[in-house]
Amino acid sequence: MDSLSRIREQIDRLDREMVALLDRRIVLAAKLAQVKKGEGHNLVDPNREKQVLNNVKRYAKEPVVQHDIEELYEKVMRMAKIKQMAVCNSPLPFNHIGIIGRGMMGGSIQKALKQADSNIEVFFVDDLSHEIPSMDLLILAIPTEEVLKLTPVIVKHCSNLTVMDIASTKQSIIKQFERCSNETIEFVGTHPMAGSEKSGIEHSTGGLFLGCRWVITPHENNHPKTLTLVEQLIQCLQADVVYLDVKSHDEKIGLVSHMVRVLSSSLYAFALERDPMSLELAGPGFHSMTRIAKGNDELLDEMIRFNRENIAQHLDGMIDHLIQVRNKLIVDAKPFIVLEERVS
């Protein structure tokens, strides 16, 4: 009979072999990207991805592996896409990039930038009142209130600089950005539709922005050339750029982002108040719907404080919708619209 230590040695050996194979797979994916680029093929091929998933499901023999292999390989293919896009990307339009904010978002931007181009200089800036490193771009990966406080400080201490933020509410920021932009410093409002309920730089990842929408909200004092450079930078982070005016941004984000956080927190609070013991029975569906309720409470407070009117308006509409659902539920066995019908 094999001893505990001997079995663990075999597992450790297999882990080394599996990681080495993953490394080789990523290297081959990078070579494939170069061939695709040279021959004019699209980098992403949905049919090929489906074929790979079908193959690995067929290869798996153990039931537990069969159950989770598709989700695992989706992550493997995501790693490959990150490497491929880094290979095919154009050079970054900025060479000396400072980041204020050492959280999950700031850390993810720093890692994504280094993956896009390991030769550029990317560094965190902690104090603008002291000697400031040479920068051509400063990224504010901090909450809305901190952006508003810091903007006048940046104008006082910096010049020949583009500044972009990533906060989730834009109206207050864009008003200030438009007022503070001048001949030597220009502020650009942006918002990546990416994130996590987790916080802290230890949860940052260079692949966070892969395939996400990243909104740019221009103002009257933005120059087309500056917006083009910021757009190129975002594309180098493998995100899809969308332009929205500030009013549309806050309305739409209030519905599909801020409302989600409010409803998630409300559902969890309602279950806790109604029947605390029920939470011990909660399965994946409940945990999926309440996942972001466990996120940063300060972020929720900021969303409500700076986008209160839009969230309240969407809540009013949601309450009316839920009343209709309740009434249909009493008289109809199918009160809900099927998702496919909505999409069509």
pLDDT digits (tens, 9 = 90+) for 58-84: 999 999 998 899 989 988 888 887 777
Averaged over 233-258, what is the pLDDT? 93
Out of 61-70, 85-94, 99-108, pick the least confident: 85-94
User: Percent of the chain scored above 70 by pLDDT?
Assistant: 94
Is residue 29's pLDDT more than 90? Answer: no
pLDDT score at 317: 95
pLDDT score at 82: 75
What is the strand order of the sheet 137-140 is part of? 121-124, 96-100, 137-140, 161-165, 185-192, 213-217, 240-243
pLDDT score at 207: 86
Q: How confident is the model at residue 338 (pLDDT cuts 50, 70, 90)?
A: low
Ordered by where they begin, the domains of the chain are: 4-88 (1.20.59.10), 96-244 (3.40.50.720), 249-343 (1.10.3660.10)
Distance from C-alpha of 256 to C-alpha of 204, rounded to nearest angstrom: 23
Which residues does 91 contact at the CB level (< 8 Å), separation at least 6? 117
pLDDT score at 84: 77
Write down the pTM of the prediction: 0.80
Q: Hey, what amino acid is at 77? A: M
